[in-house]
């Protein structure tokens, strides 16, 4: 990994500023864990029979961003990126993927998510989560996605160490 260029969350701020900053911090953490690696290294799997890899995590988080922001607040019929049905596991199979493909999709979904959040008048904005068949607030979505990043960035720590021995932030 190169130098740590992430911007840490504020020590004080509104609820929205804090949630936004933590999400962006975790997004930057995932990107940082992938820095300096070749496509082959990014595709290295954790262990058999798992298909989990750093590139698979990036692809999965593109699906998460789409499912929880775009499909909830803009277009509940938007197709998933790597599966015809809602199958988050399909994204983990990055055996034929490249950095360019995965990061282009993920970065596009992150920008859509940011736009949706910034446009919302309040964290109480209600959206329909088609997978659950119920309404959810923007606040709940931001917390849910933040927890997804936190969990998967833990996976990214272990995957990166397995690829080249790099540990740390």
State pTM to two decimals.
Answer: 0.93
Phi, psi (deg, nearest 5) at residue 58 = -60, -45
Q: What's the pLDDT at 147?
A: 97
Question: Residue 26's closest CA among 71, 52, 64?
Answer: 64
Could you tell me what percent of the chain has a pLDDT over 90?
Answer: 74
Helices 15-34 and 99-119: crossing angle in degrees, nearest 10, is 180
CB within 8 Å of 100: residues ≥ 6 apart: none
Beta-carbon count within 10 A of 155 CB: 18
Q: Is the pLDDT of residue 25 over 90?
A: yes
Phi, psi (deg, nearest 5) at residue 135 = -80, 145
Q: Is the pLDDT of residue 113 over 80?
A: yes
CA distance 169 to 7: 12
Q: Is the pLDDT of residue 58 over 70?
A: yes
């Amino acid at each position: 990994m190169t130098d740590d260029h992430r911007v840490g969350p504020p020590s004080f701020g509104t609820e929205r500023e804090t949630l936004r900053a933590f999400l962006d911090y975790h997004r930057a953490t995932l990107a940082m864990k992938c820095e300096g690696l070749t496509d082959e290294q990014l595709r290295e799997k954790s262990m058999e029979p798992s298909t989990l890899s750093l590139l698979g995590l990036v692809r999965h988080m593109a699906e998460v961003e789409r499912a929880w922001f775009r499909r909830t607040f803009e277009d509940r019929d938007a197709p998933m990126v790597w599966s015809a049905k809602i199958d988050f596991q399909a994204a983990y199979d990055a055996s034929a993927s490249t950095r360019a493909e995965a990061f282009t999709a993920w970065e596009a979904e992150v920008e859509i998510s940011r736009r949706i959040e910034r446009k919302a008048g309040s964290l109480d904005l209600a959206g329909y989560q088609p997978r659950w068949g119920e309404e959810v607030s923007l606040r709940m979505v931001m917390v849910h996605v933040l927890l997804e990043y936190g969990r998967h960035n833990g996976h990214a720590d272990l995957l990166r160490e397995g690829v080249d021995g790099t540990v740390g932030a």
